[in-house]
Chain A
Amino acid sequence: MASAYLDLIRIRFLMMLAYRVNYYSGIAIYAINIGAYYFLWKAIYGTQTELGGFTLAQMTTYVAVSWMARAFYFNNLDREIANEIRDGSVAIQFIRPYSYLMVKLMQGFGEGIFRLLLFMVPGMIIVCLLFPVRLPTDPGVWALYLVMLVLSFLINTQINMLAGLFAFFVENNEGMLRMKRVLVDLFSGVIIPISFFPGWLADTMKWLPFQAITYLPSSVFTGRTAGGEAYRVLGLQVVWFLALLIPIALVWRQARYRLFVQGG
Chain B
Amino acid sequence: MMFYASLCWEYMKNYAKTRLTYRLDFWIEVLSDLMFQGLNLIFILIVFQHTPSLGGWSEAEVVFVYGFFMVPYGIFGTFFNLWNFSERYIVKGEMDRVLTRPAYNLYQILLENMDPASLFGSVVGAIIMAVSWSTLGLPFEMLDALMLIVFIIGAVLIYAGLYTALTAIAFYSDAPTGILPLMYNIQNYGRYPVNIYNKTIRFLLTWILPFAFVGVIPASYFLDRNEDGLSTLALLTPLVGVVVLSIGLFVWNRGITRYRGAGS
Binding site for B on A (CB under 8 A): 22, 24-26, 28-29, 32-33, 35-36, 39-40, 42-46, 48, 51-52, 172, 174-176, 178-179, 182-183, 185-186, 191-192, 196-198
Contacts and interface: CB of A to CB of B under 8 A. Distances in A.
Nearest to A172: B25
A51 B50 CA distance: 7
A205 B251 CA distance: 49
Contacts of B182: 25, 28-29, 32
23 contacts: A22-B176, A24-B178, A25-B182, A26-B178, A32-B182, A33-B188, A35-B201, A36-B188, A39-B196, A40-B47, A44-B50, A44-B51, A45-B51, A51-B50, A175-B29, A178-B35, A182-B32, A182-B35, A182-B36, A185-B39, A191-B42, A192-B46, A196-B47
- Prevailing SS type, chain B contact patch: helix
Nearest to A177: B32
B43 A192 contact: yes
Contacts of A191: 39, 42-43
A174 B50 CA distance: 35
Interface string B168-209: 000000001111011001101100110011100100000000
Given A25-B181, A40-B196, A182-B32, A46 B39 contact: no
B46 A43 contact: no
Given A28-B182, A33-B188, 15 more contacts: A22-B176, A25-B178, A25-B179, A32-B186, A36-B185, A39-B198, A40-B54, A44-B47, A46-B53, A52-B50, A175-B25, A175-B29, A185-B39, A192-B46, A196-B47
Contact of B46 (A24, A35, A176, A196): A196
A198 B51 contact: no
A175 B35 CA distance: 11
Contacts of A40: 43, 47, 54, 192, 196
A179 B181 CA distance: 19
Interface residues of B, number: 36
Contacts of B198: 39
Contacts, number: 91
B6 interface: no
A43 B32 contact: no
A46 B51 contact: yes
Interface string B11-43: 000000000001001001101100110110011
A176 B36 contact: no
Nearest to B50: A51
Contacts of B181: 25, 29
